[in-house]
């Protein structure tokens, strides 16, 4: 026990002596959290619309005004040439082109129907889908108003003749995207700190030349591994807690579930991530090699974690591979606990899977360190 305490004392002295490491541990996560929470969003707040109105009638003008009156659309430019509008779309200066053909009002009055063309910039598929949904919602409302005027009946009474659907969103009633993104970003920051710092730990000892001195001491292998991992485990838990405090104070993120449940899962998760980083450090000789290998696995885990793409929409083979992705488990658990108030019984399956993986990777790290020694 005394040997482990001496190792922990050495590690903490070494960590707090390195000012660059202190910046990585404490300053960068705060800055990244405050920046990414605003940048990593799928919300559409301003859609640049290019108007091609070849009808120039009262109804076409009303349709454009209805779109422009929405909080989502902004008329970026207008002309009578669809080709000119397409060039602006190709230059990425416009998100949406609304093309109103000549005779729009005439056909609507005489034949009770008319056509409007929407051209959407679909380089970003999610943004294009949202743009289409928003624009169709406005056009549908405009269409109801026109029909109501034709039959001399208020639009409200017209809508009462159809089925009225009222949506209720559980766990995030206001559809605040920050509530969804902040827990995921916290998982990324904690994972990056855990894996990168632990992977550089042993390698740094190798480069400095102190690993040989440690190997000839009478400390046991598991004591050495624990002494290397426990400081970063505590740092990871501190960063998680500090991130939750910032999220509550700045973004008012709901914390519905038990923090004890969340931190219990975080402990097991960090043991797994730190063990992975430690294992990487035992099979590499330089910090550069360790960083590249850790970066490779972190990118793969991140892209498949469900932060940007729902897990259920992935192919079956990707979902099967995701069974060994620790980020996917923690990403799901932290949202369940914070937003839904899930208890231990709800996350028990994920907890025991992460615990099982932690035991395997930690044991592998201890075994591999013996070969290094």
Q: Which residues of the chain have pLDDT under 70?
A: 1, 39-44, 151-167, 211-216, 370-373
Alpha carbon separation from 79 to 92, 100, 231, 306 (Å, rounded):
17, 11, 64, 42
What is the C-alpha to C-alpha distance for residues 291 and 302, in angstroms, rounded to an integer? 16
3-class secondary structure per residue, the chain: CHHHHHHHHHHHHHHHHCHHHHHHHHHHHHHHHHHHHHHCCCCCCCEEEEEEECCCCHHHHHHHHHHHHCCCEEEEEEECCHHHHHHHHHCCCCCEEEEECCCHHHHHHHCCCCCCEEEECCCCHHHHHHHHHHHHHHHHHHHHHHHHHHCCCCHHHHHHCCCCCCCCCCCCCCCCHHHHHHHHHHHHHHHHHHHHHHHHHHHHHHHHCCHHHHHCCCCCHHHHHHHHHHHHHHHHHHHHHHHHHHHHHHHCCCCCCCHHHHHHHHHHHHHHHHHHHHHHHHCCCCHHHHHHHHHHHHHHHHHCCCCCCCHHHCCHHHHHHHHHCHHHHHHHHHHHHHHHCCCHHHHHHHHHHHHHHHHHHHHHHHHHHHHHC
304 contacts 321 by C-beta, under 8 angstroms: yes
Contacts of residue 246, Cβ cutoff 8 Å, sequence gap at least 6: 30, 33, 34
pLDDT of res. 154: 55
CB atoms within 10 A of CB 328: 23
Residues of the chain with CATH 3.40.1710.10: 47-160
For residue range 124-144, list pLDDT tens digits in order.
Answer: 777 788 888 888 888 888 888
pLDDT in the model for residue 371: 44
pLDDT of residue 152: 64
Asked if residues 187 and 305 have their Cβ atoms less than 8 Å apart, the reply is yes
- The pLDDT, as a whole number, for residue 51 is 93
- Buried b / exposed e over 108-130, threshold 16 CB at 10 Å, is beeeeebebeebbbeeeeebbeb
pLDDT of residue 372: 45
How many of the other CB atoms lie within 10 Å of CB of 14?
15
Other CB atoms within a 10 A radius of the CB of residue 190 amount to 25
Residue 373: what pLDDT? 43
Distances (CA, A) of 345 to 207, 322, 337, 348: 46, 22, 11, 5
CA 220 to chain centre: 41
Per CATH, the number for 47-160 is: 3.40.1710.10
Give pTM, 2 decimals. Answer: 0.76
């Amino acid at each position: 026990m005394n040997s482990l305490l001496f190792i922990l004392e050495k590690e903490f002295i070494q960590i707090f002596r390195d000012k660059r490491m202190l910046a990585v541990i404490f300053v960068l996560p705060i800055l990244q959290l405050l920046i990414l929470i605003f940048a990593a969003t799928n919300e559409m707040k301003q859609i640049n619309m290019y108007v091609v109105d070849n009808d120039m009638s009262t109804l076409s003008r009303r349709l454009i005004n209805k779109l422009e009156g929405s909080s989502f659309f902004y008329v970026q430019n207008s002309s009578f040439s669809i080709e000119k509008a397409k060039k602006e779309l190709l230059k990425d200066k416009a998100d949406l082109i609304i093309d109103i053909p000549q005779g729009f009002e005439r056909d609507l009055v005489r034949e009770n129907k008319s056509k409007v063309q929407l051209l959407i910039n679909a380089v970003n598929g999610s943004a294009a889908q949202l743009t289409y949904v928003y624009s169709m919602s406005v056009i549908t409302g405009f269409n109801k108003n026109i029909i109501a005027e034709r039959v001399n009946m208020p639009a409200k009474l017209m809508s009462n003749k159809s089925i009225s659907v009222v949506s209720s969103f559980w766990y995030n009633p206001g559809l605040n995207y920050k509530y969804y993104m902040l827990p995921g970003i916290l998982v990324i920051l904690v994972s990056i700190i855990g894996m990168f710092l632990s992977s550089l730990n042993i390698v740094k000892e190798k480069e400095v030349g102190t690993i040989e001195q440690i190997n000839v001491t009478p400390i046991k292998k598991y004591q050495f591994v624990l002494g290397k991992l426990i400081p970063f485990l505590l740092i990871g838990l501190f960063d998680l807690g500090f991130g939750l405090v910032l999220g509550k104070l700045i973004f008012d993120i709901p914390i519905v579930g038990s923090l004890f449940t969340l931190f219990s899962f975080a402990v097991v998760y960090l043991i797994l991530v730190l063990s992975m980083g430690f294992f990487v450090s035992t099979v590499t000789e330089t910090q550069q090699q360790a960083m590249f290998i850790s970066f490779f696995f972190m990118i793969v885990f991140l892209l498949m974690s469900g932060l940007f793409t729902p897990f259920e929409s992935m192919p079956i083979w990707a979902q099967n591979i995701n069974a060994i992705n620790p980020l996917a488990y923690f990403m799901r658990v932290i949202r369940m606990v914070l937003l839904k108030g899930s208890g231990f019984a709800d996350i028990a399956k994920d907890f025991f899977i992460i615990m099982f993986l932690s035991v395997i990777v930690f044991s592998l790290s201890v075994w591999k360190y013996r070969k290094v020694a």
